[in-house]
Structure 1
Amino acid sequence: MLNIFARASVSRVTDPIGAWLVRRGLTPNAMTLFGTAGTVVAALWLFPANQLFIGTVVVTVFVLFDLFDGAMARALGGGTSFGAVLDASCDRIADGALFAAIAWWAFTTADNRPLAAAALVCLVAGQVISYVKARAEASGLSADVGLVERAERLIIALVGTGLYGLHVPYAVHVAIWLLAVLSVVTVVQRLVAVYREAREAEAKA
């Protein structure tokens, strides 16, 4: 949902930066790879080491690079088909690393298996949410519904880990359990939306 309401406001900030980065000789694909690599390394290194606040800050910085690759593509007149596939693939890798790192931390440092299981639910559901949309669009359908898309998932998870790193009790627990429930609901919402649209299309055929 945030992708819809915040896109124009965010673009006003990121587009000038994207244009500046292009003038420096950088490419959108390089920015995508750099942001993804940084997110993966930071998440898998800092979160299992119980550095939740520092990990949240570093991961957030690298996640923001995902905003700049799109701005750079617009500065070049539009992205390429490969760039779109690379960006979507790297988003899945970065998200998987983040929630795997949280699950790893929950298993080892927090010794909380239910919380680790909830983080794994977030990981799997997040991948499925994106896959349903991609597969629906490939079939000529739409799946632009749901409570939590990537932006919401990252915000909820990182706010939880960041606050817990600042010693706010149960912040990460509330965030991950809430996100697990909302993610499952979103999967169902998208599947139902695709089912209804497919039925309508068949009825008109």
Structure 2
Amino acid sequence: MLNQYARGLFTRLFTPLARWLLARGVTPDQVTVAGTAGVLVGALVLFPLGHLFWGTLVIAVFAFADVVDGTMARLPEASRRRQRTEADTRWGSFLDSSLDRVADGGVFAGLAVWFFTAGAAPAIGTGALLCMFLGSIVSYVRAKAESLGYDAQTGIAERAERLVATLVAAGLVGLGLPPVVLLVVLLLLAAASAVTIVQRMARVRAQVTAQR
């Protein structure tokens, strides 16, 4: 849901940057890789050191690469400069989706490491791992459904919602809010992810039934 409303706004906002990068020979794939690397630095370096606010800030900045690379790929300049083919487009989509999973796993793993160790809040660490586990299933169910020709793009907790809620809560805890705030958010996200899995499976089941 958040993707639908925010992507158009951010696309317009980042189009000048996308054109500037293309003019200097930067490719969408390079932006995808750089963005994921930046997210992992914030998640797997700063979070485990207890710098929740600064880690969140770094992740938020590099997460916008997910919008920039897509904007670059859709601009006419990309096709003209790189002779971008349909195969290139499909590879870019595959790379972007795969590295999204890496980035998401890094965020929750970084939180888990901190709260299982010096953060001394194993319940929060468990909540982070639960979100990582269920979030991966949410993504897998959609990918598998689409590979079989079905539509599973539904649910109350898609990737954008899960990531934004987690980062906002982590950043606020880093600024001084009690850690229980993050625990509550993670547990709610885990529950919402479980509901989303059921919703997506039910949607695919309905499509299969309609084909009989």
Interval of TM-score (by shorter of Structure 1 and Structure 2): over 0.9
Identical positions, percent = 45
Displacement after TM superposition at 1:20 (Å): 1.7
Cα distance in 1 between the residues matched to 2:121 and 2:160: 26
CA RMSD, aligned part only?
1.4
Runs of 4+ in structure 1 off by over 6 angstroms are none
SS of aligned partner of 1:80: helix
Residues 69-84 of structure 1 mapped to structure 2, 5 A cutoff? 69-75=69-75, 76-77=78-79, 80-84=89-93
Q: Is the 8 A contact 1:17 1:71 kept in 2?
A: no
| Structure 2 counterpart of 1:194, one-letter code | V
**Unmatched 5+ residue regions in structure 1?**
none
Q: Is the 8 A contact 1:160 1:174 kept in 2?
A: no
Cα distance in 1 between the residues matched to 2:140 and 2:60: 24
Q: Is the 8 A contact 2:115 2:122 kept in 1?
A: yes
Cα distance in 1 between the residues matched to 2:171 and 2:123: 20
TM-score (norm 2): 0.90
Displacement after TM superposition at 1:68 (Å): 0.5
**Unmatched 5+ residue regions in structure 2?**
none
SS of aligned partner of 2:155: coil
Q: How many residues align?
A: 202
Q: Is the 8 A contact 2:123 2:183 kept in 1?
A: no
| 1:185 matched residue in structure 2 | 195
| Structure 1 counterpart of 2:161, one-letter code | E
2:125 to 111, 116, 125: 116
Cα distance in 1 between the residues matched to 2:119 and 2:182: 11
Cα distance in 2 between the residues matched to 1:38 and 1:195: 38
TM-score (norm 1): 0.93
Matched, 1:129 2:138: yes
Cα distance in 1 between the residues matched to 2:53 and 2:181: 12
Displacement after TM superposition at 1:117 (Å): 1.6
Cα distance in 2 between the residues matched to 1:50 and 1:6: 30
Q: Write the deviation string for residues 39-74 of structure 1: whole angstroms up to 9, x where unpaired.
A: 112211111111101111011111111110001101
